[in-house]
């Protein structure tokens, strides 16, 4: 098996911790798994119950407890406390059944956790960088105990799921994102650092909340944010050389501006833009396998023209250009519709990025009219407007297409543009449907449909694993296009028969490793990778995977 001479993390040196200090260290703590000899040598006698348990038995206890906890937010709180006590048991439990735990650790439960963050806060997790640390950010980052950090996931809390600006309460997002790096793709947890970049919040309710833990100020100006972000990016590069900056849940205009500014300068990406685009492209590619269509022949209509809609549009256009279309021809395949109507050239309220997608069309704020005129084959909702895909919308798509592709990507669940049941019922079973959240199977006209979940966890953990292994100079659009097709290629005939557009979550680690392998191959072929190419890429990646063991 090939070994990596650069990407492999050195094992942490043996600790001198003993007694209660050892039991309070979540990374080294084994809890009831300490042997009798361990307990004598490490000053643990009398500090633990008599029984000596295996790791598997400890996990059984966790699962049994969760079976009796019905509220998802209570399950989330229990798991966060478990991670703070024993990281190994936490990841062993989560990785034993990812399909069960992903919705608890992340969407949709994390939305409730963020809203209640001030009440749920128990102990520090990650770092908080505030505007008041200006000029000292590198000094502050050095307070983090781990020095070989490969990923910083940083959020301003400015646009959390469908919740809007929730400031410091958004810390649950970078924590949850990085937990899925490990739970889904086995990236070692000790190389991951969640950061809340506290620039203030526009949420007046939070600023008045006595339990709010962030700075009680309005957000900084755009110019000051740019200055603070530049210092932060430079501080990360100084303190954690070679670290990838994962931008997460920044306000839409800030997210686009920061990605444009840094994507060709440093190792970074924005999951809301590039990860969302990649998973949507994966769903489209899987749908084409079922319809027999080709991407260049599709007409794609978006409800929502923020960072997600624009990011998906950009990645689709990038792939269309690799298929021989010009940039303008690629953009002609796309229409965007936002709260003020169709994105068209007469509008004066468009951002510079939106202007690229404005076509010479008649102004309208009638979504059904756009469907009738443009005749889309693919409908993508990224609006956070619940139930925006009405019965009339789905029926129109079904009348225009034999197999309409309908993605209701807004989350959490109550923000989805339509439910799976609505999509299948109103389309009379014709729709190829996916949502940003996981809906239950739907029985319609004697057939069972299994809706896909177009969630970024299919993409960004694999991108993370590929980046951890190959240590690329940059992450370009092609990395996300490769990841999308690698994901789509894993939707086999049995899943297609149920209308699924994404791989099963039961074997998510296998899915992520397969995707990461394809991305790493591209990184080596394109000259992005900075480590020596191994003879067998997949086995080399597998040798780097984190395993929760004592």
Q: Which of 34, 76, 92, 177 is catalytic?
A: 177
106 assigned to active site: yes
End-to-end CA distance of the chain: 23
Residue 72: how many CB atoms within 10 A of its CB? 15
- Which residue is listed with tokens 């020596």? 532
- Which residues, including other chains, have CB under 8 Å from residue 220's CB and lie 6 or more apart? 131, 199, 200, 228
Q: Whose CA is closest to 69, among 109, 25, 36, 33?
A: 109
Q: Whose CA is closest to 214, among 223, 202, 224?
A: 202
121 assigned to active site: no
SS3 434: strand
Please state whether beta strands 127-130 and 442-444 pair in parallel, antiparallel, or not at all (unpaired). Answer: unpaired
Q: Bridge-partner residues for 342, per DSSP?
A: 337
Tokens of 314: 């950009």
User: How many whole angstroms separate alpha carbon 219 and alpha carbon 230?
Assistant: 17
User: How many whole angstroms separate alpha carbon 220 and alpha carbon 229?
Assistant: 11
User: How many whole angstroms separate alpha carbon 15 and alpha carbon 97?
Assistant: 31
Sign of CA pseudo-dihedral 236, 237, 239, 244: positive
DSSP state of 273: I
Give the dihedral of Cα atoms 307, 313, 318, 323; nearest 10 deg: 170
Tokens of 128: 């908080």
SS3 341: strand
Please state whether beta strands 334-338 and 341-342 pair in parallel, antiparallel, or not at all (unpaired). Answer: antiparallel
> Where would I find the H helices in 361-507?
367-374, 391-400, 420-426, 460-470, 477-488, 493-496
Q: Which of 106, 212, 262, 449 is catalytic?
A: 106
In this structure, the chain runs to a length of: 550
Sign of CA pseudo-dihedral 61, 67, 68, 72: positive
User: How many whole angstroms separate alpha carbon 407 and alpha carbon 433?
Assistant: 6
Buried-state track 120-135, b at ≥16 Cβ within 10 A, e below 16? beeeeebbbbbbebee
User: What φ, ψ does residue 155 adopt, rounded to 5°?
Assistant: -130, 145
Q: Whose CA is closest to 412, among 434, 388, 436, 433?
A: 436
User: How many whole angstroms separate alpha carbon 97 and alpha carbon 79?
Assistant: 14
> Where would I find the H helices in 157-275?
172-185, 204-208, 222-239, 252-262
Catalytic residue numbers, as ranges: 106, 177
């Amino acid at each position: 098996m090939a070994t990596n001479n650069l990407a492999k993390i050195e094992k942490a040196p043996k600790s001198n911790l003993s007694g209660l200090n050892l039991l309070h260290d979540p990374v080294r703590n084994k809890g009831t798994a300490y042997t009798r000899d361990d307990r004598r040598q490490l000053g643990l006698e009398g500090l633990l119950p008599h029984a000596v348990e295996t790791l598997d038995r400890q996990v059984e206890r966790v699962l049994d407890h969760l079976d009796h906890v019905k509220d998802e937010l209570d399950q989330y709180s229990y798991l966060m406390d478990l991670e703070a006590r024993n990281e190994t048991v936490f990841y062993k439990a989560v990785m034993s059944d990812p399909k069960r735990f992903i919705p608890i650790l992340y969407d949709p439960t994390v939305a409730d956790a963020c809203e209640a963050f001030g009440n749920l806060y128990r102990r520090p997790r990650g770092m908080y960088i505030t505007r008041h640390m200006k000029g000292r950010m590198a000094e502050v980052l050095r307070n983090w105990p781990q020095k070989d950090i490969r990923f910083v996931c940083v959020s301003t809390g400015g646009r959390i799921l469908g919740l809007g600006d929730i400031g410091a309460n958004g810390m649950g997002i970078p924590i949850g994102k990085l937990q899925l790096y490990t739970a889904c793709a086995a990236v070692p947890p000790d190389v991951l650092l969640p950061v809340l970049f506290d620039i203030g919040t526009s949420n007046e309710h939070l600023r008045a909340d006595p339990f709010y833990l962030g700075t009680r100020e309005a957000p900084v100006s755009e110019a000051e944010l740019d200055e603070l972000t530049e210092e932060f990016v430079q501080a990360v590069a100084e303190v954690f050389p070679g670290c990838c900056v994962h931008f997460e849940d920044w306000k839409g205009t800030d997210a686009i501006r920061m990605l444009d500014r840094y994507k060709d300068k440093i190792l970074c990406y924005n999951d809301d833009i590039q990860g969302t685009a990649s998973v949507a492209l994966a769903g489209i590619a899987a749908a084409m396998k079922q319809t027999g269509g080709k991407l260049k022949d599709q007409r794609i209509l978006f409800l929502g023209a923020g960072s997600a809609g624009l990011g998906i549009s950009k990645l689709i256009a990038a792939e269309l250009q690799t298929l021989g279309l010009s940039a303008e021809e690629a953009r002609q395949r796309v229409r965007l519709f936002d709260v003020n109507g169709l994105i068209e050239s007469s509008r004066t309220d468009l951002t510079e990025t939106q202007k690229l997608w404005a076509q010479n069309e008649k102004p309208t704020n009638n979504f059904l009219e756009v469907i009738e005129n443009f005749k889309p084959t693919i409908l993508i909702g990224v609006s956070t407007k619940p139930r925006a895909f009405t019965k009339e919308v789905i029926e129109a798509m079904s009348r225009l297409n034999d197999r309409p592709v309908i993605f209701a990507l807004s989350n959490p669940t109550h923000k989805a543009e339509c439910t799976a049941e609505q999509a299948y019922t109103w389309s009379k079973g014709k729709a190829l449907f996916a949502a940003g959240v996981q809906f239950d199977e739907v029985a319609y006209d004697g057939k069972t449909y299994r809706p896909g979940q177009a969630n970024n966890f299919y993409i960004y953990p694999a991108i993370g694993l590929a980046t951890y292994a190959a240590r690329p100079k940059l992450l370009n659009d092609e990395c996300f296009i490769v990841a999308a097709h690698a994901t789509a290629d894993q939707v086999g005939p049995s899943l297609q028969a149920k209308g699924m557009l994404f791989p099963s979550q039961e074997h998510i680690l296998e899915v992520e490793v397969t995707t990461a392998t394809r991305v790493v191959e591209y990184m080596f072929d394109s000259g992005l990778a900075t480590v020596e190419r191994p003879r067998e890429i997949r086995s080399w990646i597998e040798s780097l995977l984190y395993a929760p063991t004592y």
